[in-house]
Structure formats: structure tokens, C-alpha cells
Chain A
Amino acid sequence: MSVITDTWYITMRDLRARIRMPVFIFMTLFQPILWLVLFTQIFKSLGGMLGPGGGSYLQFFAPGVLVMTVLFGSAFSGFGMLWDIDTGVLSKMLATPVTRISVIAGRIVATVVVLLIQALIIIILALIMGVHFETGVPGVLFTFFLLALLGLGFAAFSNGLALLLKRQETVMAVTNLLTMPLMFLSSLMMPAALLPGWLNKVRLVNPIDYAVVGARDLISNGYIWHDLWLCFVVLAALAVAGVAFGTLMFRARAE
């Protein structure tokens, strides 16, 4: 199956390139640490407002950091594609018999792999800082699965956006315009009970919120299946839609 081998080679190319950039490794490791430590310090006193049972803001926010990391990591995946377009790497590849779809699939898979490594770092760090994982290892794996769907959807969407808009500046502007509200219009930083009414309605159409709710259930509350089931459906739909959009844009460009 050449589509699988081609995807593998392109994934490895992408990962290899990232590993060789010291700045990239530093950012990958440092960013989640920064967010986890910094945000939990800033909002420390919110711990008491988290409702009955209390709990720490760290316990509340750790799933949010996971989602944030995946959101920002995947939303910028398309910049690699832009680089390949601008430097002529993409054209040259497409003049070979390489399976077309592998060229975009490899990049997306590489993005998701890196994001899951970041997620693992966050979880280890959270454990050290004293976060309690209600559902244990199986729950963490389930969280990874939900995060992978989220990353897949956004990475594919970002690549599609890059192929559609073609210019660094425009893609950057649109990406920022989308990611920031997605993060804030959810219960990522603030419990739903403390959000204003309108925001609680808006967050119902925000896929990020589903990822946050799912991850928070698994880490802090346990298997709340009616939540988790909905999270899975929404994130799977997001992944399918993202991949469809990315593939469509790629086909328009490549064929």
C-alpha cells in the first residue's frame, strides 16, 4: 500500500526536521510547562470558587492546558505546508508518483504525534504537581484519543486554510482570529457555573468546549458517559470535517 508507506516517509521527514530544530524542541517542552505553572499561579485564589468540594485550580485547569496545547499546536500546522509551497518543495514532490494524499496526511500525522508527546509531558508534570487522575491510565489513554481527534481536525483544517489563502500573513491573521475566541468562549479557564449565561449557550457550539469537558471528566470526575459520548461524536465530526476540508483544498491545489 503505497499510500501508507508514502505517508510514513513524509511523517518521518517532518518529525526529523522538527527534532533538528533546537528552538522547536525547547518550545515543545517549555510551552506546556509555562502554561501549566504560570496559569495555575495566576488563578490560584480561584480554587475556593470552584463550587462544593472545592479542589485546586490546578486540578481544574490541567485538562484545559492539554486542550490549549493541542489547539495552538494544530492550528499552526499549515505553516509548514506554506513553507513547502514557497520553497518549491511541494511542486517538486507532486511531479513524482508519490500518493497525493500522503503529502498532506504525513504532515498532519506528524503534527498529531508531536502534540501527543506534549500532552504526555503535561500529564507527567501535572502528576508531579499533585493532580489526581480519577480514571487512571485507561482514562489518560481515552483523553489522548479525544485530543488526537481534536488535533487531527484542526491540523487538517489549518493545512486546508494554508492551501486556500496561500499567504503567510493572511493565514496568520485568520488563525489568530479563530483560535483566540475558541479558547475563551469555553469552560477552558473558568468553570461553566461561573460563566455568564450567553457564554454558556455559545460554548455549546464550540468544539473546544467538548474537548475540555471530556478531558475534565476523565481526569477529575470519572466516566460520565453521557458527556463523553457527546464529546466523542463532536470531536470525531470535527476531525472528519477538517480532513475533508484539508483534502479538498489539497486536491484543488495538487490535481
Chain B
Amino acid sequence: MNAIETHQLTKVFPGDIRAVDGIDFEVKDGEIFAFLGPNGAGKTTTIKMLNTLIPPTSGTATVVGLDVVKNAIEVRKQIGYAAQDVGVDEHATGKENLTLYGHFYRLDGKTIKERVKEIFDLVGLTGSENRMVSTYSGGMRKRLDLAMGLIHQPRVMFLDEPTTGLDPQTRASIWEYIRKLVKTRGMTIFLTTHYMEEADRLADRIAIIDLGKIIALGTADELKRSIGGDVVTVTPCEDNDEKCKEFVSRSEAALAGKPFITGTKATDHELAVYVNDGASAIPSIMHLLSGQGIEVKTISMSRPSLDDVFLKYTGKTIRAEEGSRTTFAQLVRMRDRRQR
């Protein structure tokens, strides 16, 4: 039996916003499955339909064989959930938070006591049980948040952006805990992320989602192989401006239809060229571009990453979509440039 199955799952919000637009996928028992996509792609909406927080507009979904609408109460008993916002109670100790959830999951007092000890150990919070959560660090809160969804030993754990906003070190430790859960508990994990690396390193299979639709699905290797060969990235200009855009599109035109090229994808200041053999393609690309009077500033070659996969299927980079932090960074850069 599959841990999760969806059929034409759809959520339309008022204003005819199709947040999730008829998606079909299956998550196998004991698998780590990642939804990879930019903010606003429909990842959180999907998770909230699967964990019974919001009803689908149409389509169906089952979790451990139970319909998320008709058997919502049964589904809730079988799942754990950690949202992007850490839903822990500041004005209580770690132990009190966890005990409350033990009661919610209808465990008896003795079981709760045993599990609390065991789970604090699992997430590495032993020794901090009786401290107020308000004194916890961000990473500790996240681990407590995970722990609260684990006390009833759920069969499926839903993790919405489990490491967003955490520093790299804490992120790595959260990954370790997630892997441990799968290994020791045989749990199924459904997670959403907009970090390529997270999906790449953690997930058995990845669904790439954009604008409410699944646009590619497979293991990280399968997805990368679907691009084939190497990616040559050409930067034909220095500044990220309108002129640069023009150079990129001229470059794309110059390379169009060449037999050794399997595809191209342009962004504002870069051109990704998909080729079978990067080493032999680079001289040809340089030659073709200089023939058109285009001066290449930098050229690099890489094995395809999930970023390239995303770029190929959606025509944009996830990073460009990452939201306010990038925008702020761009603003700072623009300001710095102006001051110079």
C-alpha cells in the first residue's frame, strides 16, 4: 500500500486562485518524498490538504489508505505535522508541550512519560525538558516542534519547509534527525522545500512543483539525467541590465538549431546550454558566439543540478523566485552600486 496517494487533487482559493491544480502522485511506504518548488508554488496548500487542515476543492487524497476528507479523524491519528512556523508554546516547558500532544493523541500517562524521555533523546534535547521554550534557540524549537509530531509514532510525517530560516549547521542536524526517523522507525516522510540541496540530499524521490502543477517527478538522478549530458553556462555581459538581456537572447539565437546542443534556457543575464559533452562543446560555443560579435565574459561547465532541472521545466531559477530575502539583497546591491 502507498503511504500517500492523490488523484486530481485541486485547491481553488477565492478569486479563482488555483493554488493546487489537479495533481497526481504516490508516495511509497517508508520513503522520503520531497515537493520542490518556489514560494507560492502550492506546496503548503498541498500539505494542508493531506493533513486535513483544509478540504480540497476537488479531487481526492488518501493517507495510509484513509480518505483525508471522509476519514479525517483517523488520518490525524496516523500523521505528524511540523509547519514552517514552529507551533510550540512559548510559555510552557519542552516537556509540557510534548505531554500536551501526548494527551491529544490519546496516549495514557505512563506511555506519555516513556515516550517523552525517548523522543527528547531522539531529537537531542535531553537535559532541556524542563526549561521554558522561551529560552530555547531556533534550532531547539524546531527540534521540539518535530518531537511534538512524533510522540504517537505516526506512520507519515509531514514537514513543511523544515529548515527554512535555520543556519546551515542546524539545517544539517535537522536533516540527520529526519534520516534517523526513517531508518529507526520506518516512517514515511513528506516534505516541502525550496532548497535544491535539501531535496537533493534528503529525498528518495522529488516532485518539482510550480504554479500548482507537478512538472517533473523522479529520483534526483533521474531528474538530472532527464536533462542529459552537461550544462554549459554562458555569461555574455557584466551587468544585469536590459542590454545584457539582449546579448543573452542574441546568444541563444546564434546557438539555435546546432546539432550538438540538446537545448538552451535563457535567464536575464545567463544562458544555460544543454549539451552531451561539455568539454568538446565549449570551443564550438565560443566560436559560434564570437562569430556573431558576442564577447563571452565567463563560461563554465557543470553536471546538471536540480536547479538546471527546474530551469529547464519552468524557464526560471528557483533562486530568482526565493522571495523577500533575495529582493532585499538585490536592493542592497543596487544601493551599493549607486553609491559607487
Are A and B associated in one complex?
Answer: yes
A97 touches B91 (CB 8 A): no
Tell me the bound Cα distance from A185 to B51 in angstroms.
Answer: 48
CB contacts (< 8 Å) of B88 on chain A: these are: 89
CB contacts (< 8 Å) of B87 on chain A: these are: 87-93
CB contacts (< 8 Å) of B158 on chain A: these are: 95
**Interface flag for B122 (CB, 8 Å):** no
Tell me the bound Cα distance from A93 to B97 in angstroms.
Answer: 11
B53 touches A89 (CB 8 A): no
- Provide the A74-110 mask, 1 if CB < 8 A to any CB of B, else 0: 0000000000000111111111111000000000000
Q: Across the A-B interface, how many residue pairs have beta carbons closer than 8 Å?
A: 66
Select the stretch in B6-14, B75-83, B192-200, B295-303 that faces chain A.
B75-83
List which B302-327 residues lie within 8 A (CB) of chain A. none
A5 touches B103 (CB 8 A): yes
Given that A96-B101, A97-B76, A97-B105 are contacting pairs, would A91 and B91 also be in contact in the complex, using a CB cutoff of 8 Å?
Answer: no
Tell me the bound Cα distance from A20 to B134 in angstroms.
Answer: 12
**Interface flag for B73 (CB, 8 Å):** yes
Given that A92-B83, A95-B81, A97-B77 are contacting pairs, would A13 and B89 also be in contact in the complex, using a CB cutoff of 8 Å?
Answer: yes
**Interface flag for B180 (CB, 8 Å):** no
The residue in chain B whose Cβ has the minimal distance to the Cβ of A14 is B91
Given that A2-B106, A17-B92, A89-B88 are contacting pairs, would A95 and B100 also be in contact in the complex, using a CB cutoff of 8 Å?
Answer: no
CB contacts (< 8 Å) of A44 on chain B: these are: none
CB contacts (< 8 Å) of B77 on chain A: these are: 97
A87 touches B85 (CB 8 A): yes
Interface bracket on B: 20 to 34
CB contacts (< 8 Å) of B145 on chain A: these are: 92
A14 CB, min distance to chain B CBs, angstroms: 9
A92 touches B103 (CB 8 A): no
**Interface flag for A134 (CB, 8 Å):** no
CB contacts (< 8 Å) of A20 on chain B: these are: 91, 132
A199 CB, min distance to chain B CBs, angstroms: 42
Given that A87-B87, A88-B86, A89-B87 are contacting pairs, would A95 and B52 also be in contact in the complex, using a CB cutoff of 8 Å?
Answer: yes
Tell me the bound Cα distance from A47 to B76 in angstroms.
Answer: 62
Tell me the bound Cα distance from A98 to B100 in angstroms.
Answer: 10
B89 CB, min distance to chain A CBs, angstroms: 6
Please indicate which of the listed interface residues A13, A93, A95 has the most CB atoms of chain B within 10 Å of its own CB: A95
The residue in chain A whose Cβ has the minimal distance to the Cβ of B51 is A95
A16 touches B83 (CB 8 A): no
A251 CB, min distance to chain B CBs, angstroms: 13
CB contacts (< 8 Å) of B52 on chain A: these are: 95
B238 CB, min distance to chain A CBs, angstroms: 44
Tell me the bound Cα distance from A250 to B79 in angstroms.
Answer: 23
Given that A87-B85, A88-B83, A88-B85 are contacting pairs, would A93 and B104 also be in contact in the complex, using a CB cutoff of 8 Å?
Answer: yes
- Provide the A1-22 mask, 1 if CB < 8 A to any CB of B, else 0: 0100110010001001100110
B70 CB, min distance to chain A CBs, angstroms: 14
CB contacts (< 8 Å) of A21 on chain B: these are: 91
CB contacts (< 8 Å) of A96 on chain B: these are: 76, 101, 104-105
Given that A13-B92, A89-B87 are contacting pairs, would A97 and B100 also be in contact in the complex, using a CB cutoff of 8 Å?
Answer: no
B294 CB, min distance to chain A CBs, angstroms: 50
**Interface flag for B96 (CB, 8 Å):** yes
**Interface flag for B181 (CB, 8 Å):** no
Tell me the bound Cα distance from A50 to B151 in angstroms.
Answer: 63
In the A-B complex, the 6 residue pairs with the closest CB atoms: A92-B87, A88-B85, A17-B91, A88-B87, A95-B81, A96-B104
What are 9 sample pairs from A and B whose C-beta atoms fall under 8 A apart? Answer: A9-B100, A13-B92, A20-B132, A88-B83, A89-B87, A95-B51, A95-B53, A96-B76, A96-B105
Q: What is B's interface to A at a CB cutoff of 8 Å?
A: 51-53, 73, 76-77, 79, 81-92, 96, 100-101, 103-106, 132, 145, 148-149, 158
